[in-house]
A and B are shown apart, each in its own frame.
Chain A
Amino acid sequence: MSTSIHKRPLFRGWEVVVGLEVHTQLLTRTKLFCRCDNRFGAPPNTLVCPVCLGHPGTLPVLNEEAVRLGIRAGLAAGCRISPVSTFERKHYFYPDLPKGYQISQYAQPLLTGGSLKIRTDAGEREISIHRMHLEEDAGKNLHAGIPDSSHVDLNRAGVPLLEIVSDPDIHSPDEAVDYLKRLRLLLRTTRVSDGNMEEGSFRCDINLSIRKPGSTVFGTRVEIKNVNSFRFVHKAMVFEIDRQIDAIEAGEKVLLETRLFDPSSGRTKAMRSKEEALDYRYFPEPDIPLLVVSDSMIDSQRRALPELPEQRADRYCAALGVQRADAEVLVAEEELAHYFEEGMERFRSTSKGEESFKKARDRWTSFILSEVLRETNRRGADVLSGPTSVEHAVGLIDRVLSGSLSFSQAKEVYARAIEEKKTPLDLVEESGLVQMSGEDELLALVEAVLSDNPGEVAAYRGGKERLFGFFVGSVMKKSNGKANPEKVNDILKAKLNG
């Protein structure tokens, strides 16, 4: 449901209409219709059995956990859960498709409706989700380095997928990427999928067309298949928007076709056209009875639903007083959010009074959003445990709050701690790092700086107040960065203005 007040971004005067189809692998132990391991990275053709190899005489047996996870995802996205849903067969011949058909939910999917709130520079909107359904993944064909033949690995054949189809409600590459990021986060938070894009457990098909603003009919839609990173989604869409605008403005037609994004050139290109007409000949899968979902199954999934990212961000704002923008970043990575919250609990219990808690909250938040976020982006979630676990990081920020360490010292120590795999406080001890907070010590430093720079002192007193920063900097330098900057400020002010 897109709000009409929302202004749609235009591209060279054209409106872009995008629907996204996401295929996400479910976090089950076994495949959708057989009990082979659902696991990435095993040696080729080791996770196979007669069922997923499509041997004669085999029948699909539906995995209960896949149904549960589907329901959970549906509840998280506000979908309607079909009490009765169906499986169909979708036919085509391809070496990675052992039975010659894919079993998928077609006529009546497990989940319909639902929505996801996105936030971009253009504001906040709801993207409506058309449907979500269960289906099986195909195996993998490999071509690289083999001249005349292709190789087939069927480990992935039969792995459970949830296909999530949005309405054509998305109007820019930024919106698409935000939608995908939030969807992935939702699936990860609910433990429905690991959302691992490198391993292909979160893949995206983009349906894109353009039209003149105000038009109510859709332009010819192009499908870009299997894009597997947020960056590529953005690039593919930017390229495709330009390509379609160029074509139409040059008086050509956009063809209804399937294209592939080539990351090396940044372009999309038409897929080699299939020689036969596509006709999937869907019909009801006779080996699988109607999927009848009980109320108790739905209830138990509702109870299993964790706090969702949206709710979590609201709570950070309301209960902790975190800025909206900061809260959004904090909840975007689940482990980071847990790290943040655990730290906040510690500060809550050690802070004396509301003022000191607010101080701690601001320091901790900014420490996480700058230092910790950078390190997790660079090195992964490992930095959230071990020598730089919450406990140790909180200890470090405690030193800053008590004034015995400057914030910049703390940041330095944190970076070194990760590098050297030592706890921050051990490093502080080792290198004798202490913040100079003693009045006498600091007074001596300030006086030395003032007497070294008589010209500047005179200029400042004559009205050039911008020089204050110069004095602070000089004192800090003289202290090798150890001086407590707040106290230096106070003493300098007293000296210069007194």
Chain B
Amino acid sequence: MNLSKSDVLHVARLSALALSEAEVDRIAGELSAILNYVEGLSSVDLSGIPAEEGSRLPTALAEDLPVQSLSTDWALAGAPDRSGPFFQVPRILEEGR
């Protein structure tokens, strides 16, 4: 399968990656080569084969007991931008999800 430039731009958008014009071209070629290789899977007969899944042992769950949280300052210490007790980001224009 060969990826077009617009395929790459779409995937880049989903991945939240800004790509330069030159990068888009290069990556379209690289990803196409890799996809062509991995498409070798198509020759495997998969009728009736379930996808790989986890174990069916009883799940080890956590007890509902609180543990001390981080302090606000500790939580925010490494933030690229903060305002008082909040993380700060450029104004969000899209409303909710």
Residues of A bordering B, CB below 8 Å? 28-30, 35-37, 43-50, 53, 61-67, 84, 91-95, 97, 138, 141-143, 146-154, 225-226, 260, 271-272, 274-277, 279, 281, 284, 289-292, 294
Q: List 14 A-B contacts (CB under 8 A).
A: A30-B64, A35-B62, A37-B69, A48-B72, A64-B61, A93-B16, A94-B94, A149-B89, A150-B91, A271-B96, A272-B95, A277-B13, A279-B14, A291-B59
Most chain A CB within a 10 A radius of its CB, from B70, B71, B91:
B70
The reply on B93 being an interface residue by CB < 8 A is yes
B69-97 interface code vs A (CB 8 A; 1 in, 0 out): 11110011000010111111111111111
CA distance A167 to B54 in the complex (A): 31
CA distance A348 to B71 in the complex (A): 56
- Whether A29 and B65, one on each chain, are in contact in the complex, defined by CB atoms closer than 8 angstroms, is yes
Q: Which residue of B lies closest to A289 (CB)?
A: B54
- Whether A148 and B16, one on each chain, are in contact in the complex, defined by CB atoms closer than 8 angstroms, is no
B15-43 interface code vs A (CB 8 A; 1 in, 0 out): 01000000000000000000000000000
Q: Which of these, A44, A274, A294, contacts B86 with CB under 8 Å? A: A44
- Whether B93 and A272, one on each chain, are in contact in the complex, defined by CB atoms closer than 8 angstroms, is yes
Pick the 6 closest A-B CB pairs, nearest first.
A151-B86, A65-B64, A64-B61, A35-B67, A152-B87, A44-B85
A93-B16, A149-B88, A151-B83 known; A272 vs B70 contact (CB < 8 Å): no
Residues of chain A within 8 A of B93, CB atoms compared: 272
- Whether B56 and A290, one on each chain, are in contact in the complex, defined by CB atoms closer than 8 angstroms, is yes
The reply on B45 being an interface residue by CB < 8 A is no
CA distance A277 to B11 in the complex (A): 10
- Whether B96 and A225, one on each chain, are in contact in the complex, defined by CB atoms closer than 8 angstroms, is yes
- Whether B83 and A30, one on each chain, are in contact in the complex, defined by CB atoms closer than 8 angstroms, is no
- Whether B69 and A153, one on each chain, are in contact in the complex, defined by CB atoms closer than 8 angstroms, is no
Q: Which of these, B61, B86, B89, B94, contacts A272 with CB under 8 Å? A: B94
Q: Which residue of B lies closest to A60 (CB)?
A: B62
- Whether B59 and A289, one on each chain, are in contact in the complex, defined by CB atoms closer than 8 angstroms, is yes
A36-B69, A37-B66, A279-B14 known; A53 vs B75 contact (CB < 8 Å): yes
CA distance A65 to B96 in the complex (A): 29
CB A259 to nearest CB in B, in angstroms, measures 10
Count of residues in B whose CB is under 8 Å from the partner chain: 40
CB A467 to nearest CB in B, in angstroms, measures 66
Residues of chain A within 8 A of B65, CB atoms compared: 29-30, 35
CB A155 to nearest CB in B, in angstroms, measures 9
CA distance A190 to B89 in the complex (A): 40
Q: Which of these, A84, A141, A151, A276, contacts B13 with CB under 8 Å? A: A276
CA distance A95 to B64 in the complex (A): 27
CA distance A64 to B59 in the complex (A): 10
CB B48 to nearest CB in A, in angstroms, measures 18
A48-B75, A95-B89, A148-B90 known; A226 vs B14 contact (CB < 8 Å): no
CB B85 to nearest CB in A, in angstroms, measures 4
CA distance A23 to B18 in the complex (A): 34
CA distance A53 to B87 in the complex (A): 11
Interface residues in B45-67 by Cβ distance below 8 A to A read 53-59, 61-67
- Whether A47 and B88, one on each chain, are in contact in the complex, defined by CB atoms closer than 8 angstroms, is no
- Whether A292 and B57, one on each chain, are in contact in the complex, defined by CB atoms closer than 8 angstroms, is yes
A47-B69, A62-B61, A274-B94 known; A152 vs B16 contact (CB < 8 Å): no
CB B56 to nearest CB in A, in angstroms, measures 6
Q: Which residue of B lies closest to A269 (CB)?
A: B95
Residues of chain B within 8 A of A276, CB atoms compared: 13-14
Q: Which of these, B53, B63, B90, contacts A290 with CB under 8 Å? A: B53
Residues of chain A within 8 A of B62, CB atoms compared: 35, 61-64
Residues of chain A within 8 A of B91, CB atoms compared: 143, 146-150
Residues of chain A within 8 A of B97, CB atoms compared: 92, 94, 97, 138
- Whether A151 and B87, one on each chain, are in contact in the complex, defined by CB atoms closer than 8 angstroms, is yes
CA distance A147 to B93 in the complex (A): 12
Residues of chain A within 8 A of B92, CB atoms compared: 94-95, 141, 143, 150
Residues of chain B within 8 A of A151, CB atoms compared: 83, 86-88
Q: Which of these, B59, B63, B87, B90, contacts A45 with CB under 8 Å? A: B87
CB B6 to nearest CB in A, in angstroms, measures 12
Q: Which residue of B lies closest to A142 (CB)?
A: B86
A151-B86, A290-B55 known; A260 vs B14 contact (CB < 8 Å): no
Q: Which residue of B lies closest to A42 (CB)?
A: B69
Residues of chain B within 8 A of A143, CB atoms compared: 91-92
CA distance A292 to B91 in the complex (A): 42
CB A192 to nearest CB in B, in angstroms, measures 14
- Whether B88 and A150, one on each chain, are in contact in the complex, defined by CB atoms closer than 8 angstroms, is yes
CB A457 to nearest CB in B, in angstroms, measures 73
CA distance A279 to B96 in the complex (A): 16
Q: Which of these, A36, A66, A152, A281, contacts B14 with CB under 8 Å? A: A281
CA distance A37 to B55 in the complex (A): 30
Residues of chain B within 8 A of A277, CB atoms compared: 10, 13-14
Residues of chain B within 8 A of A271, CB atoms compared: 94-96
- Whether A29 and B66, one on each chain, are in contact in the complex, defined by CB atoms closer than 8 angstroms, is yes
